[in-house]
Amino acid sequence: MAMTYNLFLLPGDGIGPEVIEQTRRVLGWYAAKRNFAFTAEEDLVGGASYEAHGTPATDAMMKKALAADAVLFGAVGGPQWDKLPFGKKPEQGLLRLRGDLKLFANLRPALCFEALKEASTLKPEIVSGLDILIVRELTGGVYFGLPKETTTLPDGQKRAVDTQVYTTSEIERIARVAFELARLRSNRVASADKSNVMVTGVLWREVVHRVHDAEFPDVVLTDVLADNCAMQLVRNPKQFDVIVTDNLFGDVLSDEAAQLTGSIGMLPSASLGAKDAKGRQPALYEPIHGSAPDIAGKGLANPIATILSFAMCLRYSLGRGEDAALLEKAVERVLAEGYRTGDIMQPGMTKLGTSAMTDAILKALDALA
Ligand code: NAD
């Protein structure tokens, strides 16, 4: 009998429910055609949860997220909630999920589909065949370090402080994730830090090398200063395979890498926690885009980023690499056939809405399976 996976769906706000609905259709295809048994309970998060319960993340929702094999997340936020107090804002729902599930590793692939190489702002030959993975530390560093405060000085000026902090174990565990993933790819890791000017950078480099030498000597490790890494990403991005970096640099570098591929509507992500004794690993999969209030409810959203996030779920949480590759191939085929949503539209191509794009992907899955 096939194993039953416990998936938990959190559509959220704006286009979130539209793209998660399409992902549900893909789940249905896998159930019907690939012996894939799953439960897929759904709940509210973000602004939708605030409207119903007065909080962006309820304890009951969090309990279900903690029990799931994987969480499939849409997007949260919207202008109607911008003025809420900080703790009630929709984004706090996502931050609570990341915090409570202890999702310390954020995986952001930047993959350029051949059919979309003209959509990049870089020359096609620079991005053609691009396939890099940015592994960003997600729960430490300057976004969480204390003190974090604004004080008023005796002369009336204000003084704001954020604190960049990393411990050995935080660096070790993110380095291990990067090295393990590199072994499944081209076996190369570039570690980006600022060891020339920051003591956290010095520790980062020291620990990454220690983990490498002791446990992953087969992986090719190079160091790159984070500012140089930003430059190299636009100069010659294909030199990279896996890039591992801290929370702040990862935030910036992963958005830069996303732009190389042309569209925010195409890019998936995964956030992983630590494996427990039984090998269970908390995981959340989400598109990198937000709730796109400007196109919400119009049937225009590109569902591919969310559908490819489910492909990452198949690969990393459910151990079904072949099924993941099948879904990625189906997306590639649809693009090669000239189908586009509005955000990736090019002259001479066929423009589809959210649901019609999923129809095309399901048809491609039928053809490839
Ligand atoms: P956004 O990603 O929502 O939208 C940026 C632009 O890209 C918009 O023009 C939008 O129409 C377009 N776009 C995004 N996804 C698309 C898709 N799938 N198909 C077609 N076009 C797409 O970013 P924003 O406008 O800066 O933020 C809107 C809201 O989303 C804000 O409330 C923000 O806080 C929130 N946000 C949430 C997340 C998240 O849930 N993880 C991430 C980023 C932003």
For the question of residue 166 being annotated catalytic, the response is no
Q: What residue type is 14 in one-letter code?
A: G
- If you average pLDDT over each of 7-11, 255-259, 344-348, which comes out highest? 7-11
Catalytic entry in 13, 30, 194, 285:
194
Among 131, 139, 108, CA closest to 270: 108
Q: In what order do the strands lie in the sheet with 188-193?
A: 37-42, 4-12, 70-75, 283-287, 268-272, 105-111, 131-137, 242-245, 188-193, 220-225
Nearest to 115 by CA among 107, 103, 106, 127: 127
Q: Is 251 a residue of the active site?
A: yes
Task: Report which protein residue has its CA nearest ligand 1's atom 42.
Answer: 290
Given the residues 223, 255, 329, 363, the one annotated as active site: 255
pLDDT at 322: 95
Catalytic residue among 251, 285, 323, 343: 251
Residue 5 pLDDT:
95
Q: What is the mean pLDDT of the chain?
A: 95
Catalytic residue among 100, 131, 162, 227: 227
User: Mean pLDDT over residues 247-265, rounded?
Assistant: 89
What is the pLDDT, as a whole number, of residue 16?
A: 98
The predicted-structure confidence for 224-239, as pLDDT tens digits, reads as follows 999 999 999 999 999 9
**Residue 269, beta-bridge partner list:** 286
Q: Could you tell me which residues are beta bridge partners of residue 200?
A: none
- Report CA(296)–ligand 1 centroid distance (Å): 10
Rounded CA-CA distance 341/347 in Å is 12
As a whole-number percent, the residues of the chain with pLDDT over 70 amount to 99
**How is 13-57 classified by DSSP, letter by letter?**
STTHHHHHHHHHHHHHHHHHHS--EEEEEE---THHHHHHHSSSS
pLDDT digits (tens, 9 = 90+) for 144-183: 899 999 999 999 999 999 999 999 999 999 999 999 999 9
Query: Looking at residues 259-280, what average pLDDT do you find?
Result: 89
The mean pLDDT of 51-70, rounded to a whole number, is 98
Q: How far is the CA of 267 from the centre of ligand 1 (A)?
A: 12
- Alpha carbons 92 and 173: distance in angstroms, whole number: 25
- 289 contacts 12 by C-beta, under 8 angstroms: no
155 is catalytic: no
Q: Report the pLDDT value the prediction gives residue 224, as an integer from 0 to 100.
A: 98
Q: How many CB atoms lie within 10 A of CB 144?
A: 15
Condensed to tens digits (0 to 9), the pLDDT of residues 306-329 reads: 999 999 999 999 999 999 999 999
Query: Could you tell me the distance, in angstroms and rounded to a whole number, from the CA of residue 255 to the centre of ligand 1?
Result: 13
Residue 335: the pLDDT is 96
How does 71-83 read in b/e, with b if 16+ C-beta sit within 10 Å? bbbbbbbbeebee
Closest CA to 267 of 244, 246, 286: 286
Using CB distances shorter than 6 Å, the residues near ligand 1 are 15, 75-78, 91, 94, 264-265, 286, 289-295, 301-302, 305, 341, 343
* Nearest atom within ligand 1 for CA of residue 287: 41
What pLDDT, on a 0 to 100 scale, did the predictor assign at position 170? 97
Whether this prediction's pTM lies above 0.85 is answered by: yes
Nearest ligand 1 atom, CA 294: 11
* Domains of the chain in sequence order: 1-104+273-369 (3.40.718.10), 113-266 (3.40.718.10)
- What is the 291 CA–ligand 1 centroid distance (Å)? 5
Q: Is 117 a catalytic residue?
A: no
What would the mean pLDDT of 74-87 be, rounded to a whole number? 96
Select from 254, 291, 302, 351 the residue to mutate for testing ligand 1; criterion: most ligand atoms less than 8 Å from CB: 291
Q: Say what the pLDDT of residue 261 is.
A: 82
Q: Which of 33, 131, 143, 359 is catalytic?
A: 143
pLDDT tens-digit map of 302-312: 999 999 999 99
Confidence at residue 200, expressed as pLDDT on a 0 to 100 scale? 98
Q: Is 227 a catalytic residue?
A: yes
Closest CA to 97 of 136, 138, 134: 138
In the predicted structure, residue 1 carries a pLDDT above the cut 70:
no
pLDDT of residue 70: 98
